[in-house]
Amino acid sequence: MKYRLPKIAVQSAAVVGGLVVMGVAWYFQSTWIPAVKQWAAYTVAAGKKQTAVKTDDDADASVEDDHAGHDHAGHDESSSLELSKQAQRNVGLTADKIRKVQLTTFTRKISVPAIVTERPGRTEVKVVAPMTGVITGVYVVEGEAIPQGKQLFKIRLTHEDLVQAQTSFLQALGELDVENREIKRLKQITEGVVAGKVVLEREYARQKLEAVLNANREALILHGLSEAQIDQIEKDRHLVSEIAVYAPQANFDSNEVRTPQPLVQPVSLISLKDEANTVDQGQSPLIVQELNVSKGGFVQAGDTLCVLVDYRELFIEGRAFEHDAIELAAAAAKDKKLTAVVEGNGKKIETIDNLKISYLDNRVEPDSRAFHFYVGLPNRVVQDTKSNDGRRFLSWKFKPGQRMQLQVPVEEWTDRIVLPVDAVAQDGAEYFVFQQNGDHFDRRPVHVEYQDQYSVVIANDGSLFPGDVVAFAGAHQLQMALKNKAGGGVDPHAGHNH
């Protein structure tokens, strides 16, 4: 006996099967819908091609069908544009500007105005006169790049106290020499001829002279002479009449700046040879930013002779609003990477990625209510030239006073369609993108969730699907072209009386 299912069971199975098919189709809509659209576009293009190759007898009908064929599925003549290759280039639609959209993670950022500044205590080094005198030699020019340890100036000493201190030092040295020779002579005489008491008294006198000599040495150090210079005076027994001033040598890891210890010679023997040959050329060059003296000028001890700068590392000073302080503190605590946008000419934009917040200021400006924070900025040389006389001049990429924008990441949104600003056109409350459909661009209304000066976040609500090909530039020009098309062309005879 043949068994048959009840009619109600068959109907139920059909309903369940239909629901399953609909669910699977809905779940995989991002895969099959773009394929269907591409198939439809291909079918339309093929139909046009077939129409174009009709016989001459049907030529007039072909022209009429060319426009009638626009009313196909997914295509509305009133919101569609057909652009030639030249027109596409005119609005910036090059091959790389017509791409498929895809879901991505969008990082919302706040944009903060900023300015490049020097690092306090690290970028700038002042070279001061160690003692009073007259400038007899200037060996650098303003703007020149010099190695650390290079001779900068020569000063003829005129300070009376320094001359007197050197004289006392030399006098104490002479008296000590006499006392040493006398003690040596007495010790060489046959024992018993000279009482031991006499030798002992001479040794006491020598100790007194050594104490005076040490005091004079300390006085010379206070006047600005180095240990090496004092040792040279002691060796040659000549007063220092001129001293050389050198560019300091900086250890930027420890932030220690030290002055080279030159050999001191009498003025008649001082060599004017450039000392740069003895300097490690691998060290970072210093730039003479300011030159405050000239040959023949008189300087007091402590006067600034020149200002040297090292631009290898700078700061970007961000100037945020007071209410952004919490988000900035959170970004610094999580060690988030910032992006600096360099303000360029026209539409040219240069970005610097992977920057870190060095520190946040602990005060807010009372007038502007601006909250400052600082970001480290590595620098590089973009031009290295030499003049006819062999002087070196450097041009650094980033300079103090240069304007920038700092983008600080604050939160992330997943599964969003992100397009450039130029890909979206606005008309009142409506936002549109232009989707490529065969040889046309169809206008699609979209919902904008967020927009900044660089990107637009489109809601993933079905108005666009991953895989759709859209114009990534020129949306505003395409929108204006659609408006002109809807309004009709301008009458060339308007305003003329014939």
Using DSSP, state whether 377 is helix, strand or coil: strand
Cβ–Cβ under 8 Å, residues 169 and 185: no
**Radius of gyration of the chain, Cα coordinates, nearest whole angstrom:** 42
pLDDT of residue 153: 94
Q: How far apart are CA 470 and CA 41, in angstroms?
A: 14
Distance CA 410, CA 370 (A): 19
Check residue 73 and give its pLDDT: 46
Q: Residue 251 is encoded by which pair of tokens? A: 């250890």
The predicted pLDDT at position 243 comes to 84
The pLDDT of residue 8 is 65
In this structure, the chain runs to a length of 498
User: What per-residue confidence (pLDDT) applies to 38?
Assistant: 57
- For 370, list phi and psi in degrees, rounded to 5: -85, 140
**Of the candidates 475, 463, 313, 275, which has an alpha carbon nearest to the alpha carbon of residue 400?**
313
Domains in the chain: boundaries? 80-107+412-485, 124-250+283-306, 311-410
Cα 131 to Cα 166: distance, rounded to the nearest angstrom: 13
User: Strand ranges (DSSP E) for 310-461?
Assistant: 313-321, 338-343, 349-355, 357-364, 370-378, 381-386, 392-396, 403-420, 425-427, 430-437, 440-446, 448-451, 455-458
**Angle, CA of 73, 79 and 82, to the nearest 5°:** 85
Each residue's pLDDT, cut to its tens digit, for the chain (498 residues) gives 445 556 666 567 676 677 766 776 666 665 666 556 656 555 554 454 444 444 444 444 433 444 444 444 455 667 788 888 888 888 888 888 888 989 998 988 888 999 999 999 889 999 999 888 999 999 999 999 999 889 999 998 887 777 788 888 888 888 888 888 887 877 777 555 556 777 788 888 888 888 888 888 888 888 777 788 888 888 888 887 888 888 887 654 444 445 444 433 333 223 333 333 333 444 678 999 999 999 999 998 889 999 999 999 999 999 998 888 889 999 999 999 999 998 766 556 788 999 999 999 998 888 888 999 999 999 999 999 999 999 999 999 999 999 999 999 988 888 889 999 999 998 888 999 999 887 788 899 999 999 888 889 998 888 888 889 999 988 888 888 888 877 654 444 444 444
Q: Dihedral angle at the C-alpha atoms of 206, 207, 209, 212, nearest 10 degrees?
A: 180
d(CA 93, CA 476) in angstroms, rounded, equals: 12
Q: Residue 112, SS3?
A: strand
Place of tokens 């502007």: 368
pLDDT for 218: 87
Other CB atoms closer than 10 Å to residue 382's CB: what's the count?
10
Taking a C-beta distance cutoff of 8 angstroms, is the pair 242, 267 a contact?
yes
Distance CA 116, CA 317 (A): 6
pLDDT at position 323? 85
Spell out a b/e string for 277-300, using b for 16 or more CB atoms within 10 Å of the CB, else e. Answer: eebeeeeebbbbbebbbeeebebe
Q: Across-strand partners of 375?
A: 316, 357
- Tokens matching residue 389: 């006389």
What pLDDT is stored for residue 272 in this prediction?
30
Query: Facing residues of 153 across strands?
Result: 138, 245
Name the one residue in this structure whose structure tokens are 């210093």: 286
- Phi first, then psi: what are they for 196, rounded to 5°? -65, -25
Instruction: Write down the pLDDT at residue 142.
Output: 94
Tokens at 326, concatenated: 């919490």
Task: Residue 456: name the closest of 33, 184, 104 by CA.
Answer: 104
Q: What is the reported pTM?
A: 0.62
- Predicted local confidence at residue 41, as pLDDT: 54
**What pLDDT is attached to residue 409?**
92
Question: What region, left, alpha or beta, does residue 335 occupy, with left being phi > 0 and alpha being psi -120 to 50 degrees?
Answer: left
Q: Tell me yes or no: is domain 80-107+412-485 CATH 2.40.420.20.
A: yes
Instruction: Give the Cα separation of 88 and 86 in Å (integer).
Output: 5
Closest by CA position to 263, among listed 240, 284, 287, 280: 240
